[in-house]
Each structure stands twice: as C-alpha cells, then as structure tokens.
C-alpha cells in the first residue's frame, strides 16, 4: 500500500490558512504556495540517493555528497507550475517536463491534451506536482504516463488532498507515495475539495474573473 505522508508542522498550518482565505490576494496566495511547496519538497526528498565525492574547502580536503539520480519535476498544467520554482531552488539540476491535463466539468474525468515527455531516456526519479489531489483522475493519468515513459520511482506532491483521490491512487498504484500538507473532508457535488481553497489555478494566476 502506498504511503501517505501528511506534513504536521505549525508553519504548514499557518500558510495553509492564508491559502484557504477567500480574501487572500493572488500575490500572497502564490507566496504561500511557494512556501508550502518548499516544505513539501524538503519532506519528500528525505530518501533520495546521494554519493560521496571529494572537494576542497578553504582549509582542507573533505568528502561531500551529490545527487545520484536524474530527477524530473512533472507539473500538471496549469496549477502545478506554481510548485516548480521552489522545487528547483532545492534541486537546481532537476529536469522539468510538463503534462497538460484538465478535468471535464461535465463528466469529472481527466482529459490529456499535452505532453512534453521525450521518447526514451526517462528520468530515474519523478515528482508529480499538482496543488490539489481531488478525484485522483488526473494524478492517475499522470502516473500511468510516467510509468509508460519508464520512470522507476515516482512521488506525488499536493498541497491539499481529498480521501477520494488518495483512495484512487492507492487502488490503482499501490506503490506510489503521496506527500501533502493536509487531507480535507472530501469532495462536494462539483468534485471540488472541501473545505479546500477554491480553484488553485485561478487563484495562482489571477484568472477567476473577480475584480
């Protein structure tokens, strides 16, 4: 069964509160997404592989450490873009490959409209980035796409998750770890996470149409 890692930290609680507030302006919303993504990245990368290599400090030779695997960041367009930069701050050598998925509002099923994954030569470790894990449909489609690409190790990073999305991943991809900041109550009739924070993409990119 896949592991569900939920961050338990006072800073997470505070930044999540900012995200949830309807009155939070887009700039502040983006900053909170960035901060929470940094905390998620720190937690989710705890087990990544490193190897020793010698370096020279100003005083002597010592053994440092460097990353072993090729690491890919896979943001699900468009909201996942908001999580890329903080990940790159911590893993500047990571590759960024985009997947375009959206939810059909009538059927609540995912639609795959764009993929930038190159043929062959998959990364060894991939982090799927999507602020909201709701029904799990888009996440599972992304997971299937990466597995078909040949990625051997995949982790799902979301700021908020619904039990329904977690259960869907666990049933279809039992070996995939999910890292999130909170698991909310569930989904409403429109398949939005409640209490949630609204549409993450609209709030990140200020496209809600609100004045």
146 contacts 74 by C-beta, under 8 angstroms = yes
The domain ranges of the chain are: 4-47+72-205
pTM value surpassing 0.85: yes
φ, ψ of residue 60 in degrees (nearest 5): -165, 175
Average confidence score pLDDT of the chain: 91
Mean per-residue pLDDT, 151-169 = 96
Kindly indicate the confidence band of residue 115, based on its pLDDT and cuts at 50, 70 and 90. confident
Residues classed as catalytic: 103, 107, 199, 202
169 contacts 163 by C-beta, under 8 angstroms = no
196-211: per-residue pLDDT in tens? 999 999 999 999 765 5
Domain 4-47+72-205, architecture per CATH: 3-Layer(aba) Sandwich (3.40)
């Amino acid at each position: 069964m896949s592991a569900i890692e939920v961050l338990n930290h006072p800073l997470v609680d505070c930044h999540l509160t900012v995200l949830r507030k309807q009155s939070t302006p887009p700039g502040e919303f983006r900053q909170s997404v960035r901060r929470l993504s940094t905390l998620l990245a720190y937690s989710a990368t705890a087990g990544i592989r490193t190897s020793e290599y010698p370096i020279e400090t100003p005083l002597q030779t010592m053994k440092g450490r460097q990353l072993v695997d090729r690491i890919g960041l896979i943001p699900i367009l468009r909201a996942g873009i908001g999580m890329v930069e903080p990940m790159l701050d911590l893993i500047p050598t990571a590759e960024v490959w985009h997947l375009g998925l959206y939810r059909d509002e009538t059927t609540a099923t995912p639609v795959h409209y764009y993929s930038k994954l190159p043929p062959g030569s998959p990364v060894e470790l991939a982090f799927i980035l999507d602020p909201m894990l709701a029904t799990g449909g888009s996440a599972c489609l992304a997971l299937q796409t990466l597995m078909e690409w040949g990625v051997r190790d995949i982790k799902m990073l979301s700021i908020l998750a619904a039990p329904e999305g977690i259960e869907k991943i666990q049933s279809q991809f039992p070996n995939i770890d999910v890292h999130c900041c909170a698991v909310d109550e569930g989904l409403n009739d429109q398949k939005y996470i409640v209490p949630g924070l609204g549409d993450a993409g609209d709030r990140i990119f200020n496209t809600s149409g609100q004045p």
